Amino acid sequence: MAESKKAWGGRFSKPTSKQFEKFSESISFDARLYDADIRGSIAHATMLAECGLISKTDCSRIVRGLKAIRREIEAGTFEFREDREDIHMNVEAALVERSGDAGKKLHTARSRNDQVALDMRLWAIDEVAHVYGLLREAQAALVGLAEANVALIIPAYTHLQHAQPVLAAHSLLAYVEMFERDIGRLGNASCGMLVSPLGSGAVAGSGLPIDPDATARHLGLPEVAANSIDATGDRDFILEMAFALAMIAMHLSRWAEEWIIWSTEEFGFIELDDSVSTGSSMMPQKKNPDALELIRGKTARVYGNLVALLTLMKGLPPAYNRDLQEDKPPIFDSTDTVADSLAVAIEVIDSVRFRPDRIAQQLDRGHLDATSLADYLVLKGVPFREAHRLVGELVKDCLARDCRLGDLPLEAFQKRCGKICEDVYGFLGPENCVKRASGRASTSHRRVKAALRKWRKKLAG
Amino acid sequence: MAESKKAWGGRFSKPTSKQFEKFSESISFDARLYDADIRGSIAHATMLAECGLISKTDCSRIVRGLKAIRREIEAGTFEFREDREDIHMNVEAALVERSGDAGKKLHTARSRNDQVALDMRLWAIDEVAHVYGLLREAQAALVGLAEANVALIIPAYTHLQHAQPVLAAHSLLAYVEMFERDIGRLGNASCGMLVSPLGSGAVAGSGLPIDPDATARHLGLPEVAANSIDATGDRDFILEMAFALAMIAMHLSRWAEEWIIWSTEEFGFIELDDSVSTGSSMMPQKKNPDALELIRGKTARVYGNLVALLTLMKGLPPAYNRDLQEDKPPIFDSTDTVADSLAVAIEVIDSVRFRPDRIAQQLDRGHLDATSLADYLVLKGVPFREAHRLVGELVKDCLARDCRLGDLPLEAFQKRCGKICEDVYGFLGPENCVKRASGRASTSHRRVKAALRKWRKKLAG
Amino acid sequence: MAESKKAWGGRFSKPTSKQFEKFSESISFDARLYDADIRGSIAHATMLAECGLISKTDCSRIVRGLKAIRREIEAGTFEFREDREDIHMNVEAALVERSGDAGKKLHTARSRNDQVALDMRLWAIDEVAHVYGLLREAQAALVGLAEANVALIIPAYTHLQHAQPVLAAHSLLAYVEMFERDIGRLGNASCGMLVSPLGSGAVAGSGLPIDPDATARHLGLPEVAANSIDATGDRDFILEMAFALAMIAMHLSRWAEEWIIWSTEEFGFIELDDSVSTGSSMMPQKKNPDALELIRGKTARVYGNLVALLTLMKGLPPAYNRDLQEDKPPIFDSTDTVADSLAVAIEVIDSVRFRPDRIAQQLDRGHLDATSLADYLVLKGVPFREAHRLVGELVKDCLARDCRLGDLPLEAFQKRCGKICEDVYGFLGPENCVKRASGRASTSHRRVKAALRKWRKKLAG
Amino acid sequence: MAESKKAWGGRFSKPTSKQFEKFSESISFDARLYDADIRGSIAHATMLAECGLISKTDCSRIVRGLKAIRREIEAGTFEFREDREDIHMNVEAALVERSGDAGKKLHTARSRNDQVALDMRLWAIDEVAHVYGLLREAQAALVGLAEANVALIIPAYTHLQHAQPVLAAHSLLAYVEMFERDIGRLGNASCGMLVSPLGSGAVAGSGLPIDPDATARHLGLPEVAANSIDATGDRDFILEMAFALAMIAMHLSRWAEEWIIWSTEEFGFIELDDSVSTGSSMMPQKKNPDALELIRGKTARVYGNLVALLTLMKGLPPAYNRDLQEDKPPIFDSTDTVADSLAVAIEVIDSVRFRPDRIAQQLDRGHLDATSLADYLVLKGVPFREAHRLVGELVKDCLARDCRLGDLPLEAFQKRCGKICEDVYGFLGPENCVKRASGRASTSHRRVKAALRKWRKKLAG
């Protein structure tokens, strides 16, 4: 009977079924870990040599071999083989072919269990940095757009109904704040990644006199895992990253939703650039906000990936189980999806155009100054709850007359409340409302300009 | 300024951004719809000719051209282009290159909105049939294994604690029942697919005198969509399929979990074949049930895909939005994952070996016959709740003596309950329990054999 | 040491911890199963008597006792006790208190495992019927609104951009179609519920000579479970119900989204009734579509519940595990949430008012007749893809002139395409577009009226 | 026509529908926010007085009134009214009843939008601290159990197959590490909560001269929200908390799964206490690990809640939408569920008993010392990959002889590899393996004892 040709096949009496081999391979998706894998192996070999577990010569051969393999992979000349299962075994087998016995020593005191845990960490650290950069760029694009439209007033909405007038810049800065929290979350996730699991072996550490602290040092990782059972079965850092990405996608979906609505015929607040819009195969007049819709839609897969990862880990017995191989496709997909979405979002923001004429039409609707009028009454000594009721009735008067609050004659005001004088008109109209806004978070010109300055400085730093 | 080169680019003044083009393309994953797309287009062209909207000659040219394109795709010589966005535009553009004006007429009275809705239905119908076949094979594998071990008794578990003795065949047939419900769900999902959306156009139908019933007839679809707004934005059939697949994955995960536990050193009820097992890169003695673990783990992505699709549709305004393009990756992945998992599961089942010696050791533990003893007391006239209490105390006696119920001397029984006589031993021990099992769903030899005959007949049919 | 007072406490040496008792009780939420539980127990007792396992007198006592308990529960005088764990033990213990030994015999040949599986089925059958009724009412409300606005034309949207003119009735009927599919799904789920698991016992059936077919007959259930291991661990019917409810919630969320957008100041297509709207605590002018927002928002919990149920079952070893107790809160919540959402949706639909004046303003925007113009060109012999390009350019002309297609003079048309004549104007404008709509799914007056008649008849039936 | 009686009802002409009132109320679940709500209102009133917007007297009246209301709520004498919608309006309306005009001034420069955002933050801060405490207790319980069994060796598993021998303490400490990361995540989530949104008003801040920094100071919150649109629509902190709780639940489910398996008849590694176990209604011998199963099962609802929250926020337009009311039930449920699960877990851990006899039987199985043997070969100069193959073959020899590696005579070793000498036996057997373990994360006695000391110190601190 044919024997197993696998590196682990010593105790096996039969070769692996072809179908199962295809089902279980991961090289088709984990090849992207090659750089992390090779960096990890170089650090590991260096430590082995330092501890006297392999010779200096063997170590040099290994390092040279690994670097050559990396060059081949990057040149596209390396042959990845499905029957070698994963990136680890593909690299190791190629190394053995090149460096013989030296290569056979690389896996000393190591298991794929701690190796893949390391590879994923190294990979994730890089990707988080990439997404971080894109978030900063997106913030810069929003700040730029805000600066370019710094005096523009738009209606703010709650419940998608006209609420109060705000500066467009204030509205754009809301997303800058969201992305800032996203950056914080990436930072926290990143901290959790800076731990080297090497030395944990398969599950129980190694019986050989190794120095995991040295390996971590070679990799620039400030910490070493404290418990081998935990370290080999831990995917917390991947779930945290998947969650941080899901939050970014969620924020992007809120932004996309707003701008899809803003670019309807009915709102018409913005005009998207042709370069990020699409037409219809049937309707010749169409210009559709596909970029925004795709960003919104792709939130779905980023959520789905998080659910997949949570499901994967639910009830999984401790330490490594092969289920864990399934951690890769979802986190790879979430990372790529969010990065691409951010890149396109930046392009959309950079090329959008506000339409002040269309916006102006809406500022006259929906009694955006009603709250300002209630504030006026408060300043005149009317208890707020009473002021609220009075303004509600004045709004009803406007609805009956089909006019704005500012169009009501003074008598109409005074009929409802004798405390109202001529100075009431200084509280009405969008400009007056924005001018009067107060408090750190508010939409006043002063506050918004200060915020823009703060962000500009931060983004330059 | 360069103009758009897109088929829909008439009203556009700028070309599409490269980055957005890459972000929004779907040809990299919807190329697999080529056959459905071409079948749909042939039916559509035929109808157009029948209605006099294109000439017979144009129709022939179109059909010939489409068939040639299909041959090229299947031969691997067709060039899919990202700048042509999707399968629909890739096929149409290639057709125009081949057949000129005739090709330009294919999209008459059609939109990609109804076209893709049709393509997905045709694709889904085929895939559901494929998964159906695999479920039948899996049932056959289980029935075969049950037949080959028809007399084998194993402990049944609830709460993973020893419950009562059952036939191994009974235990295997539980999964046959689950798969039968899965087949029912696929059937229901399939029914929802047999509706032609063609004729719905972009959203409002077509203004040309078309005959959607004829198109449906050419495609072998018994029904035509009733409302164009609904039909172009409806993805119910995909969500239903995704759910049906999630249920299959769930059932597979329960089976995998049981067999992973059964193949531990401690249980040792089964031995998986070497051909579907894997070793460790570090621990030489290891033989791991990776096939089962991967099947269990892949449930995660199938769940994640369902969540992605539900998220996608949540709060989506009616009719087509570009978000809908994101329906494809999750449903493609769920389909492939479940099909592959079933194929590997069949291989695992076909090659597994029960270990009666190890099982026998466990039959003596955990007082599997306690319920049978309670039944005995009921037959002796003891109210069940009383009988339950008495047997509980007898079990305590056994725990104290570290023996089985059948090892207790008659006096020990009689001390607890005077109604117990010598015939009690006929109710104890696994064989006696199984023999006495009653009721349609129970584990008696008779019932299980009848069930095996029923399934064998059904699977043959 | 105090002994366990539980009905199952015979073999236990210690009482249950208070904290664990509270953690594990289900009576706080499964009390709502009381009617199903009692119906099931009556059928079971009747069968036991028929099989001679209990006497007729005991059976009568049991039935009388159970009915008395039901009356007490419905009168609100029954005391549910947490230390009796669940509805089953609460009812049984109360029965024993009332009828002594007879009550102690009720649980003969039964386990809570098959009992709760039955209770959930009986409960679910009733709830599905309730939701079915609400869906029919919602359809009737939509059809009524459509009939009342049968001639009203509105813009149809794809990508939330103006697409083509449609009848408002056509748009409303899209939801009637969605609810019809929801009804189909409920029907399919319902079929899966009509199976009696009684007789499956804890996991292996019963050793007593019972007649599960008789029990099923007494309950009006056409089928009996075929495999006891499967039947006691099967929750497919609950997941199917949870999925069917999630789909209803999804459809409701799409409707809510559309109507939230329709009721913005900018769209202004509808006016929601004050009775289903809410104001702001701060902004006196506000009238918010809270009913719609809550319906949209509640989709979230219905999705969450489905995910909870899927997660629950993932990798669960076969037969009953206590995890299964957690099937109840999510399915109860989804059922109530969807039922309440439908009831409020009906109220919203019944009280809404279309605003034809605001709608009319929008019909002039966005070149809704562009596709109709392309159809015109097709009828003049221009290949569609060519026609599409020509109309795209004509739309560009309109954008430059800020006018509608119908405002272009004939020369402007002819400059782009010599085949255009005076009759082109018969294809322009919303009325002409709707009139020309063709095909079963389209928005023509004829088709929509036929659809309304069909639905009216179906809903009356 | 009856007018609206709501506090916001000024501009409404009709009362709220009863059904909608019931559908939209939140007082049935947000009453638990009463303390946060009152604390926030006291801080707000104090700031209003400091800014001269209300008088000192009014402020005193308000504060007195609010404290009285809090006492009533805590005494259970406060009547919560559904028609007053939520906790905010219930408290405000009660305040107005008690303090008249003063009460009507409380809502000056405030909206429920910023109020509820604050309440949720204050509530969450407290709950996070509570869960933090429970995690620390769980760690202490695990450390205590580890200390009490400090010399006990058990098999470690990967793929649920015997891997290598480890100290039971090492295995328990893996969970201590997981909980430590959970604590870190709670800490990060907590940081995000320490921001006061008060002053953001409904969406645009307030037009009155308020001082949000003062309000924050009164509440002990170090930061004030920077953007009112963001602050009123931001629920990031709730999602982060929901995710952190989901991770705890996931870790608990892994622990529960392991211990469920450990308490099977077949493993028998632990004996759960009767006080946290349950019996069967039908099978008298049963003792089931229900506490563990429920903890595992409840992971499902915690995941479902996270999905609900993510779904809720997906595509939600910025600022407050009523959908946001649905943030409460899921986060309340996740918090309670995880807190209760931890409390029960602690009880389970504190009362569990290891069964060294049963464990010892398993240490002899599965060739747990194979990796140690490979290490031996490495030390003898055999390249690891070669050593792995050799040991694989020796394991095959053992399987053929049905013996342990340590049972092989020296010749058998030497037949496979001449480098093996008598000293090989010093590497075989569980004690030798554990003794040789090396590296910070490994299972050696020294490392584990050091870890126990570290944790004991940390937990004491």
Phi, psi of D159 (to 5 degrees): 55, 25
Q: Is C113 on the interface with B (CB under 8 A)?
A: yes
Q: Tell me which chain B residue has its CA closest to the CA of residue C165.
A: B204
**Separation in Å, CA of C123 to nearest CA in chain A:** 29
Please determine, for residue B225, whether its predicted confidence score (pLDDT) is greater than 90. yes
**Separation in Å, CA of C340 to nearest CA in chain B:** 18
Per-residue model confidence as pLDDT tens digits over D227-270: 999 999 999 999 999 999 999 999 999 999 999 999 999 999 99
Indicate the pLDDT class of residue A1, thresholds 50, 70 and 90. Answer: very low
Residue whose structure tokens are 């042509």: B84
Cβ <8 Å between D315 and B315: yes
Cβ <8 Å between D253 and A315: yes
Residue B65's beta-bridge partner residues? none
A113: nearest Cα among A193, A45, A203, A33: A203
Q: Is C107 on the interface with B (CB under 8 A)?
A: yes
How far is it, in rounded angstroms, from Cα D392 to Cα B280?
Answer: 10
Name residues 190-219 of chain A within 8 A of B (Cβ).
201-202
Per-residue model confidence as pLDDT tens digits over A187-214: 999 999 999 999 999 999 999 999 999 9
Please determine, for residue D1, whether its predicted confidence score (pLDDT) is greater than 50. no
- Residue of D13, D159, D275, D281 marked active site: D159
Per-residue model confidence as pLDDT tens digits over C178-218: 999 999 999 999 999 999 999 999 999 999 999 999 999 99
Across C233-241, average pLDDT: 98
Please determine, for residue B75, whether its predicted confidence score (pLDDT) is greater than 50. yes
Query: Quick check: A282 and A225 in contact, CB under 8 A?
Result: no
Q: Is A290 on the interface with C (CB under 8 A)?
A: yes
Please determine, for residue B3, whether its predicted confidence score (pLDDT) is greater than 80. no
| Contacts A111 to B, Cβ<8 Å | 280-283
How far is it, in rounded angstroms, from Cα A89 to Cα A106?
Answer: 11
Per-residue model confidence as pLDDT tens digits over D81-136: 999 999 999 999 999 999 989 999 999 999 999 999 999 999 999 999 999 999 99
Query: Quick check: C279 and C287 in contact, CB under 8 A?
Result: yes
Q: Is B304 on the interface with A (CB under 8 A)?
A: yes
CA separation (Å) from B366 to A285, B358, D258, D278, D337? 75, 15, 20, 15, 32
Q: Tell me which chain C residue has its CA closest to the CA of residue A315.
A: C315
Helix (H) or strand (E) holding A207: none
Question: At C131, is the secondary structure helix, strand, or coil?
Answer: helix
Indicate the pLDDT class of residue C438, thresholds 50, 70 and 90. Answer: confident
**Separation in Å, CA of A198 to nearest CA in chain D:** 9
| Contacts D17 to C, Cβ<8 Å | 275-276, 347
* pLDDT value for C101: 92
Across A142-170, average pLDDT: 97
Partner-chain residue, chosen from A4, A17, A284, that has the shortest CB–CB distance to B276: A17
* Residue D159 is a catalytic residue: yes
Cβ <8 Å between B319 and C225: no
Helix (H) or strand (E) holding D353: strand D353-354
Indicate the pLDDT class of residue D2, thresholds 50, 70 and 90. Answer: low
Q: What is the 3-state secondary structure (H, E, C) of B351-408?
A: HCEECHHHHHHHHCCCCCCHHHHHHHHHHCCCCHHHHHHHHHHHHHHHHHHCCCHHHC
Give catalytic residues of A, as residue numbers: 159, 280
* pLDDT value for D11: 86
Q: Tell me which chain A residue has its CA closest to the CA of residue B283.
A: A202
Q: Is D374 on the interface with B (CB under 8 A)?
A: yes
Domains parsed from chain D with CATH numbers: 18-108 (1.10.275.10), 113-360 (1.20.200.10), 362-460 (1.10.40.30)
How far is it, in rounded angstroms, from Cα A25 to Cα A22?
Answer: 5
| Contacts A89 to B, Cβ<8 Å | 281
- Min mean pLDDT across C217-221, D281-285, D314-318 is at D281-285
**Separation in Å, CA of C291 to nearest CA in chain D:** 7
- Residue of C17, C28, C55, C280 marked active site: C280
- Residue of D17, D55, D280, D438 marked active site: D280
Please determine, for residue C381, whether its predicted confidence score (pLDDT) is greater than 70. yes
Residue whose structure tokens are 């910070």: D440
What percent of chain B clears pLDDT 70, i.e. is strictly above it? 99
Per-residue model confidence as pLDDT tens digits over D340-362: 999 999 999 999 999 999 999 99
**Separation in Å, CA of D380 to nearest CA in chain C:** 44
**Separation in Å, CA of C131 to nearest CA in chain B:** 18
Per-residue model confidence as pLDDT tens digits over D366-398: 999 999 999 999 999 999 999 999 999 999 999
**D308-337: buried (b, 16+ CB within 10 Å) or exposed (e) per residue?**
bbbbbbbbbbbbbbbbbbbbbbbbbbbbeb
Partner-chain residue, chosen from A160, A318, A396, that has the shortest CB–CB distance to D317: A160
Please determine, for residue B419, whether its predicted confidence score (pLDDT) is greater than 70. yes
Q: Would the pTM of this model clear 0.90, i.e. be above it? A: yes
**Separation in Å, CA of C55 to nearest CA in chain B:** 11
| Contacts A441 to D, Cβ<8 Å | 197, 199-200, 205, 212, 224-228, 231
Cβ <8 Å between B285 and D164: no
Q: Is A290 on the interface with B (CB under 8 A)?
A: yes
* pLDDT value for B2: 54
* pLDDT value for A4: 76
> Which amino acid appears at position A85 of this protein?
E
| Contacts B392 to D, Cβ<8 Å | 279, 284-285
* pLDDT value for A439: 83
Indicate the pLDDT class of residue C1, thresholds 50, 70 and 90. Answer: very low
Q: Is residue B264 left, alpha or beta, with left meaning phi > 0 and alpha meaning psi from -120 to 50?
A: beta
Count Cα atoms within 13 angstroms, Cβ side, for C29: 16
Partner-chain residue, chosen from A299, A322, A389, that has the shortest CB–CB distance to D159: A322
Cβ <8 Å between A287 and C161: yes
* pLDDT value for A3: 66
* pLDDT value for B325: 98
Please determine, for residue C305, whether its predicted confidence score (pLDDT) is greater than 50. yes
* Residue C17 is a catalytic residue: no
Cβ <8 Å between D265 and B370: no
Question: At C397, is the secondary structure helix, strand, or coil?
Answer: helix
Query: Quick check: D78 and D44 in contact, CB under 8 A?
Result: no
Name residues 159-188 of chain C within 8 A of B (Cβ).
159-160, 163-166, 170-171, 173-178, 181, 184-185, 188
Cβ <8 Å between D174 and A233: yes
**Separation in Å, CA of D343 to nearest CA in chain C:** 8
Name residues 249-268 of chain D within 8 A of A (Cβ).
250, 253-258, 261
Per-residue model confidence as pLDDT tens digits over B117-132: 999 999 999 999 999 9
Across A210-222, average pLDDT: 98
| Contacts A344 to B, Cβ<8 Å | 19-20, 23
Indicate the pLDDT class of residue C401, thresholds 50, 70 and 90. Answer: very high
Give catalytic residues of B, as residue numbers: 159, 280
How big is the A-B interface in CB pairs under 8 Å? 230
Q: Tell me which chain B residue has its CA closest to the CA of residue A26.
A: B294
Name residues 49-68 of chain B within 8 A of D (Cβ).
none
Cβ <8 Å between C113 and D279: no
Please determine, for residue C2, whether its predicted confidence score (pLDDT) is greater than 60. no
Spatial CB neighbours of B77, under 8 Å, sequence gap ≥ 6: none
Per-residue model confidence as pLDDT tens digits over A345-358: 999 999 999 999 99
**Separation in Å, CA of D318 to nearest CA in chain B:** 15
Query: Quick check: C29 and C191 in contact, CB under 8 A?
Result: no
Per-residue model confidence as pLDDT tens digits over C50-105: 999 999 999 999 999 999 999 999 999 999 999 999 999 999 999 999 998 999 99
Q: Is A365 on the interface with C (CB under 8 A)?
A: yes
Query: Which two tokens mark B433?
Result: 């329990």
A266: nearest Cα among C154, D316, C427, B204: C154
Q: Tell me which chain C residue has its CA closest to the CA of residue A308.
A: C311
How far is it, in rounded angstroms, from Cα B113 to Cα B202?
Answer: 5
* pLDDT value for B189: 96
Cβ <8 Å between A384 and D105: yes
State chain B's mean pLDDT as an integer. Answer: 96
Question: At B151, is the secondary structure helix, strand, or coil?
Answer: coil
Q: What is the 3-state secondary structure (H, E, C) of C248-309?
A: HHHHHHHHHHHHHHHCCCCCCCEECCHHHCECCCCCCCCCECHHHHHHHHHHHHHHHHHHHH
Residue C157's beta-bridge partner residues? C162
* pLDDT value for B94: 97
How far is it, in rounded angstroms, from Cα A434 to Cα A449?
Answer: 13
Indicate the pLDDT class of residue B1, thresholds 50, 70 and 90. Answer: very low
Name residues 265-284 of chain D within 8 A of C (Cβ).
273-284
Q: Tell me which chain A residue has its CA closest to the CA of residue D182.
A: A236
ipTM of the complex: 0.97
What percent of chain C clears pLDDT 90, i.e. is strictly above it? 95
* pLDDT value for C395: 94
Per-residue model confidence as pLDDT tens digits over C141-185: 999 999 999 999 999 999 999 999 999 999 999 999 999 999 999
